[in-house]
Amino acid sequence: MKYVFSMTLALALLASAPALAEDIDVMTQNQYLGADLTPIVTAGDAAEFNAAVVAALEDVAANDFPARAHALAELIARRLPALVGLQEVFTFTCMDLAPPTADQGCDNPRIRNAFNDHLALTLAALADLEEDYSPVATVVNIDTTTVTIPPFPPGIPFFIDGVPALANIIDHDVILVRGDLAGGAAPVDFTVFQHLGICTRPSADGCNYVVVATATLPDPDPDGTILNIERGYVGVDVTVDGKDYRFIDTHLEVQEPQAGNELSAIVQAAQAQELIASLGPTTPAGSSLIVVGDINSSPDDPPIVVPEPLPPGFPPVIVPPYTQFVGLGYTDAWDGAPDDLPGFSCCQDDDLLNQQSSLVERIDVIFSIEAWNKVKKARVLGAKVSDKTAPPDQGGLWPSDHGSVAAELQFE
């Protein structure tokens, strides 16, 4: 009877004990393409356009993504998060438009290091560190293979030292899942909700936003060639320690007005509105929703007064993305960080050569719709001089122009 009584008491105690807390460690990492593309999309004529393309490729080459891939992978390996939302995961390719010659065209030493597959290099760097991550879901954003400037094949034609070549640039947002979880993770199929007006522009595993910025590229056609500055979102469903999660990764349009794109802040706000409206009716009731990414919007952003005349369908005052999320009940993981950590995640100099970190904005976020009980180890990674690609006395590059933001969320 003593044994039976002890077992009964133990079961009673277990039944009355509070539920065990559930933790999930997540990260968002903007990998940085390596150049500012604004001069390309704002070029006024063919000569200016060509110069801007070559300058951008030179910057990408100098910013040495093969070296930075290892530094970025080390930030992931330092935390081993369950899920990582990557932005600005680029593929740069080049095709010679003249018979290939060593050191000319695509092989010109000024640009040859620009042409890489950033996702492949990231996964290889993680494998070198003996860490196992799988790219479970991807959305394709800017894709210049959809652009044709006659009389050239699809892509961006340019001349370097008088030799013709064709560059192609494809931007992705990618969700990495840690190897022990990847087998049970699956991309979210948003297209099944198209009857609700959701994901009307599917792209790979995700969706491109309906409202996008555009650029007009110089071309023989008097009207030019229109390039959409695509942005998107992508998600995965995964179970971690018995709890179901829906994890969303996005990269919203920049907020500051750009030449030729003065309404970029309005585009950005419309994208945030579309994302939030899409997630509400599509997230399963039993899943905890987490949204990460570079939203290009901070807690300090004021409301945006729309210049007149108003674009069709827009109110006179626009609510910026960060305020939209928080106003609709999303909790910001950084609110659970120690008070003395500002959480600044942007931005280092374009050439990544600034000696000390210059991160002064908090625009890379981790939101959850379910209120967390506690946030552990909220950190901005990649913002110390020791994180650079070479020791401080040898110069070196920052891993990205953004810091990687990570947090471990504890839910009851």
Per-residue pLDDT, 14? 35
DSSP lists the bridge partners of residue 213 as 229
Per-residue pLDDT, 41? 82
Query: Hey, where are the domains in the chain?
Result: 21-411
Could you give the percent of the chain with pLDDT greater than 70?
A: 90
Nearest to 153 by CA among 82, 79, 204, 95: 95
Model's pTM, two decimal places?
Answer: 0.92
HEC sequence for the chain: CHHHHHHHHHHHHHHHCCCCCEEEEEEEEECCCCCCCHHHHCCCCHHHHHHHHHHHHHHHHHCCHHHHHHHHHHHHHHHCCCEEEEEEEEEEEEEECCCCCCCCHHHCCCCHHHCCEHHHHHHHHHHHCCCCEEEEEEEEEEEHHHCCCCCCCCCEEEEECCEEEEEEEEEEEEEEEEHHHHCCCEECCHHHHHHHCCCCCEECCEEECCCCEEEEECCCCCCCEEEEECCEEEEEEEEECCEEEEEEEEECCCCCCECCECCHHHHHHHHHHHHHHHHHHHCCCCCEEEEEEECCCCCCCCCEECCCCCCCCCCCEECCHHHHHHHCCCEEHHHHCCCCCCCCCECCCCCCCCCCCCCCECCEEEEECCCCCEEEEEEEECCCHHHCCCCHHHCCCCCCCECEEEEEEEEC
Average pLDDT score over the chain: 90
Q: What CATH number matches the domain at 21-411, 3.40.50.720, 3.40.50.150, 3.60.10.10, 3.40.50.80?
A: 3.60.10.10
pLDDT digits (tens, 9 = 90+) for 114-125: 999 999 999 999
Per-residue pLDDT, 305? 76
Could you give the percent of the chain with pLDDT greater than 90?
A: 77
pLDDT band of 10, cuts 50, 70, 90? very low
Per-residue pLDDT, 317? 81
**What Å distances lie between residue 183 and 27, 80, 121, 188, CA to CA?**
19, 17, 22, 15
Mean pLDDT value across residues 88-113 = 97
Q: When comparing pLDDT for 149 and 68, which is higher?
A: 68
Per-residue pLDDT, 261? 56
pLDDT band of 262, cuts 50, 70, 90? low
Mean pLDDT value across residues 60-89 = 97
Task: Name residue, tokens 């790979």.
Answer: 204
Judged against a pLDDT cut of 70, whether residue 246 lies above it is answered with yes
Per-residue pLDDT, 9? 35
pLDDT digits (tens, 9 = 90+) for 369-409: 999 999 999 999 999 999 999 865 677 999 999 999 999 99
CB 319 within 8 A of CB 285: no
Nearest to 207 by CA among 186, 188, 234, 237: 234
Per-residue pLDDT, 218? 79
Mean pLDDT value across residues 260-271 = 80
Per-residue pLDDT, 392? 56
**What Å distances lie between residue 193 and 190, 209, 230, 277, CA to CA?**
6, 15, 21, 12
pLDDT band of 5, cuts 50, 70, 90? very low
pLDDT band of 45, cuts 50, 70, 90? confident
